[in-house]
């Protein structure tokens, strides 16, 4: 597809990096008023760069808006992003996406999208907060991805030293627990495996488990892991993410305590959330954290604007409590090092924003050229989970799965047939109208037939 990206900041660069890969194969043009940002993008990636105001129709025309399929506006200004999209809609068949951060607009998203013809609006802080809220529904999870319109989940967790899974082969796990879930990916150090039944789990393995929410809860209960939503949450930092997260948590009955340095912000939060406890103080003060009940809280979320503070606070919370940890991180450059510190779930708001936009781009592209409904890149892009819609008869349709000759490192994780969802066995078949989730470390799959040798 022909895509124009306006704004070469962190989100813009994350998008460019993903969309410039061979697998994505898009024709990209980037616009930014800052020459050094455009030059940096052009130096690193195969893109065409234009210096100028993206809200100028003449600049958009120079960028190729007349033949573009999609315009994505991710500058630091909400109003500029909306104006860019408004001008781009003069070309009726060009889809538009805008990053809009101001909470004032959050209640008006549907109206703005309808009136301005914008395909998607992304709020980084709201999106990050919803990701965190989802994780707190399943305290044992490091990461959760969904398929089949939310009916199927791919949940990532760690095999701890005292886990009942330690030392078991996957066949033994299946025989012992009988929960109709599938351990589909195992990350061990720098290696990622699509495991067979003989694969033996070790302590510190990061495993991704696929199944329906109901079966996943049963499986976690049998492992002796918590499955209920965290009843209490301590949030350090009272910014916009904390605002959205507090609203979501209070809605489901979670007790929320926020520690925030700025007194004025504390008063604003107290007025917005009288049910929450707002503390005016320094979240990096260990004595304050202990006084406010850190040792007994069920979840701890570090949300300040400083990565170093968030990291050290989470490490301290880990040392004195059994709380579910969520750590907000801005800089993605050191993610490999951070994962080794076991900081719980690491949340990169800019990365999440880019991922949400990428999902729309892929869905739009795939509706034109392939049958992929959903695509998630997993384990630092070392694996993928793809959901295929089976539109017509083909070489995988109507045959028992045991008779299909699959490429190495490919696993058929789930088959959705009408209202039924199953973890398939060798006798099960794929039919027209099904959606099928495939887990793989093989890149470049466009059609379901690509899984075959």
Q: Where in the chain is the domain with CATH 3.30.70.1450?
A: 129-222, 370-451
Name the CATH superfamily for 232-345.
Answer: NAD(P)-binding Rossmann-like Domain (3.40.50.720)
Q: Taking the domain 2-122, which CATH number applies?
A: 3.40.50.720
Q: What is the pLDDT of residue 332?
A: 56
- Count Cβ atoms below 10 Å from residue 105 Cβ, excluding itself: 17
Largest CA distance in the chain: 66
Quick: pLDDT tens for 271-304. Answer: 999 999 999 999 999 999 999 999 999 999 999 9
pLDDT band at 338 (very low <50, low <70, confident <90, very high): low
Could you say which DSSP state residue 169 is in? B
Kindly tell me if the per-residue pLDDT of 333 is higher than 60. no
The domain defined by 129-222 folds into Alpha-Beta Plaits (3.30.70)
pLDDT above 70 coverage of the chain, percent: 95
As a whole number of angstroms, the distance between CA 377 and CA 310 comes to 26
As a whole number of angstroms, the distance between CA 158 and CA 142 comes to 8
pLDDT band at 224 (very low <50, low <70, confident <90, very high): confident
Which CATH number among 2.130.10.30, 2.40.10.10, 3.30.70.1450, 3.40.50.720 corresponds to the domain 370-451?
A: 3.30.70.1450
Q: What is the pLDDT of residue 147?
A: 83
Q: What is the pLDDT of residue 419?
A: 75
Alpha helix (H) ranges present in 178-300? 213-222, 240-251, 263-272, 286-291
As a whole number of angstroms, the distance between CA 84 and CA 82 comes to 5
- Model pTM? 0.81
Q: Where in the chain is the domain with CATH 3.40.50.720?
A: 2-122, 232-345
CB 4 within 8 A of CB 63: yes
CB 440 within 8 A of CB 20: no
Considering the chain, what is the average pLDDT of its residues? 89
Residue 390, classed as helix, strand or coil, is: coil
Quick: pLDDT tens for 377-393. Answer: 788 778 988 888 888 88
pLDDT above 90 coverage of the chain, percent: 56
Residue 174, classed as helix, strand or coil, is: helix
Closest CA to 437 of 342, 373, 367: 373
Average pLDDT over residues 47-57: 94
């Amino acid at each position: 597809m022909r895509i124009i990206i306006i704004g070469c900041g962190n989100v813009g660069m994350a998008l460019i990096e993903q969309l410039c890969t061979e697998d994505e194969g898009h024709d990209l043009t980037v616009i930014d008023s800052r020459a050094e940002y455009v030059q940096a993008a052009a130096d690193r990636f195969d893109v065409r760069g234009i210096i100028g105001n993206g809200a100028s129709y003449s600049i958009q025309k120079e960028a190729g808006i007349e033949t573009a399929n999609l315009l994505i506006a991710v500058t630091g200004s909400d109003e500029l992003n909306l104006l860019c999209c408004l001008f781009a809609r003069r070309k009726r068949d060009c889809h538009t996406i805008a990053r809009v951060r101001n909470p004032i607009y959050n209640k008006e998203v549907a109206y703005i999208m309808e009136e301005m013809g914008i395909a998607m609006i992304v709020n980084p802080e709201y999106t990050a907060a919803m990701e965190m809220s989802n994780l707190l529904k399943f305290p044992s999870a490091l990461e959760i991805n969904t398929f089949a319109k939310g009916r199927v989940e791919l949940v990532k967790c760690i095999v701890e030293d005292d886990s009942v899974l330690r030392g078991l082969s996957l066949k033994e796990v299946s025989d012992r627990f009988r929960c109709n879930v599938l351990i589909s990916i195992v990350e061990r150090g720098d290696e990622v495996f699509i495991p067979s039944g003989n694969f033996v789990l070790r302590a510190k393995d990061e495993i991704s488990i696929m199944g329906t929410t109901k079966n996943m809860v049963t499986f976690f209960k049998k492992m002796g892991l918590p499955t209920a939503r965290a009843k209490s949450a301590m949030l350090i930092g009272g910014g916009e993410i904390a605002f959205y997260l507090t609203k979501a948590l209070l809605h489901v009955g979670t007790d929320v305590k926020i520690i925030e340095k700025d007194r004025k912000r504390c008063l604003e939060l107290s007025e917005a959330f009288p049910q929450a406890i707002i503390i005016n103080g320094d979240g990096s003060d260990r004595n304050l954290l202990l006084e406010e009940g850190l040792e007994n809280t069920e979840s701890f979320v570090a949300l300040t604007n400083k990565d170093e503070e968030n990291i050290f606070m989470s490490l301290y919370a880990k040392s004195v409590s059994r709380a579910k940890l969520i750590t907000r991180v801005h800089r993605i450059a050191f993610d490999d090092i951070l994962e080794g510190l076991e900081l719980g779930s690491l949340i990169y708001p800019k990365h999440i924003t880019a991922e949400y936009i990428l999902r729309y781009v892929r869905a739009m592209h795939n509706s034109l050229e392939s049958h992929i409904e959903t695509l998630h890149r997993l384990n630092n892009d070392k694996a993928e989970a793809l959901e295929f819609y089976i539109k017509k008869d083909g070489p995988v349709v109507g045959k028992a799965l045991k008779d299909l000759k699959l490429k190495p490192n490919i696993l058929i994780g789930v088959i959705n047939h009408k209202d039924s969802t199953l973890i398939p066995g060798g006798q099960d078949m794929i039919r027209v109208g099904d959606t099928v989730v495939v887990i793989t470390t093989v890149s470049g799959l466009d059609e379901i037939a690509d899984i075959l040798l």
